[in-house]
Amino acid sequence: MSEDPRDNYAELGTDIQEILFTKEEIHQRVVELGQSITRDYAGKNPLLVGVLKGVLFFMADLLREITIPAEVDFMAISSFSSEARDQGFVRMVKDLDIPVTGRHVIFVEDVIDTGLTLNFLLRNLRAQQPASLEICVLFDKPERRLIDIPVKYLGFDLPDKFVVGYGLDYHERYRNLPFVGLLKSYVIQSVGE
Ligand code: IMP
Ligand code: MG
């Protein structure tokens, strides 16, 4: 086993400038979040709702740390255009299967950045009258926030930088890294945004 976890991930690891959160640090924080939810939702059978795909590892790991009955569901969205996305408009590609009316819903997200997407989705969910609605986010970029969103369960604050790993991608790559890190600048330049 190598000392630097990047060495185990071939060219994906080579593209990482710096690891911000190790696999162990993420795991520890997810355990704590699971314990808080377990304590707060005893007897409430919470419904955890996530947006694909970035939340996949966080949701899977968080759910396994919740020791009371809990349900899970996913939605998928796509942006109309970059202008529409800037205003927070998204199209629902896959809606939830489980009705949220009267349920104790926990919205689980990988990252909140501007908060525009989340705000749009929350408005949608609130219209369906859940019994309660709270937000659980692994990473928050508070400097980027355009809309105030109260986060009840937070993993870590992030600087205003683009990160990948633990489900987070750059052009669909790097999701499978178990840690979260910054990309080297040549990677971003070579894909060209
Ligand atoms: P916003 O809060 O509406 O600006 O959008 C947040 C979404 O953008 C998240 O759900 C992620 O899918 C994506 N995102 C934001 N920052 C990052 C990042 O650093 N890495 C990967 N995806 C990100
Ligand atoms: Mg997301």
pLDDT at site 44:
98
Which residue's CA is the nearest one to ligand 1's atom 13? 111
Please indicate whether residue 115, judged by its CB atom, sits closer than 6 Å to ligand 1. Answer: yes
The residue with tokens 């704590």 is: 32
pLDDT digits (tens, 9 = 90+) for 137-167: 999 999 999 999 999 999 999 999 999 999 9
Instruction: Give the chain's mean pLDDT.
Output: 93
**Is residue 163 within 6 Å of ligand 1 at its C-beta?**
yes
147, 40, 20, 107 alpha-carbon torsion, rounded to 10°: -40
Kindly state the percentage of the chain with pLDDT values over 90.
87
Ligand 1 within 6 A of 120 CB? Answer: no
Full-model pTM: 0.93
Q: Report the nearest-CA residue for atom 21 of ligand 1.
A: 168
SS3 47: strand
pLDDT surpasses 70 at 38:
yes
d(CA 76, CA 71): 17
Question: Which atom of ligand 1 is closest in space to residue 113's alpha carbon?
Answer: 2
Q: State both tokens at 41.
A: 């939702």
In 3-state terms, what secondary structure has residue 115?
coil
pLDDT given at position 84: 72
Residue nearest to atom 12 of ligand 1 (CA): 54
Q: pLDDT tens across 76-131, in order?
A: 998 767 777 677 678 889 999 999 999 999 999 999 999 998 999 999 999 999 99
Query: Active-site residue among 113, 148, 157, 169?
Result: 113
113 is catalytic: yes
- End-to-end CA separation in angstroms for the chain: 36
Question: 177: which residues sit within 8 A by CB, 6+ positions away?
Answer: 9, 12, 13, 16, 164, 165, 166
- Calpha distance 191→99 (Å, rounded): 40
Q: What does 156-190 look like in DSSP terms, one character per residue?
A: EE--SS-EEBTTB-BTTBSTT-SSEEEEPHHHHHH
The residue among 83 and 182 whose pLDDT is bigger is 182
